[in-house]
Amino acid sequence: MIALMRRLLRRRKTRALAEAAIPDLEGRGSNPEERAEYLLRSHLSPDQLSEYDATKTFVAVGQITKLPYRIFPLKHHNILLRDRIPMCVTAVDRRQGVMSNMPIADHMLTHKLYIENAEENFLATVGWSARTALAIRYDLHEELSIGRFRQIYNF
């Protein structure tokens, strides 16, 4: 019995060592955050990537309006339209009816894909049309600089 247990433990240890030694052929990393970061980086344009490396934020240009949306590394409240107007949009898991618990880089990529490929859907979630976004009076809103945004959300 003891011999059997020892053999099982040895086998488990060998397997764990073998798994740890598996090379990361795609450079994607092994944990969800690393893989999400790899996926995000591989889908950023050169400009977005250099900005992301410098500030951990990047700008996505709207498919229809061509307006700039700055995306921050947060799961929600992470978008500033024209670096001024905060937009509160978050990805959800409809099966559970809660905010999606994807890694933050996946949230950022989700927002980028919506803005660049389905801006109408994106704007509709906050009750806007493309026309509204273009016509909005920026001077009627409190102006939030990026620095202020960073201060508020503490990242």
The footprint of other proteins (CB under 8 A) covers: 31-36, 39, 42-45, 48, 76, 88-95, 100-103, 106, 109-111, 113-114, 116-118, 121-122, 125-127
Closest CB 1 distance from other proteins, rounded Å: 37
Nearest to 68 by CA among 29, 13, 1, 119: 119
Q: Which is nearer to other proteins, 83 or 116 (CB)?
A: 116
For 51, left (φ over 0), alpha (ψ -120 to 50), or beta? alpha
Closest CB 3 distance from other proteins, rounded Å: 37
> What's at 64, amino acid-wise?
I
Q: Which is nearer to other proteins, 101 or 129 (CB)?
A: 101
> What's at 147, amino acid-wise?
G
Closest CB 89 distance from other proteins, rounded Å: 5
Q: What is the CA radius of gyration of the chain?
A: 21
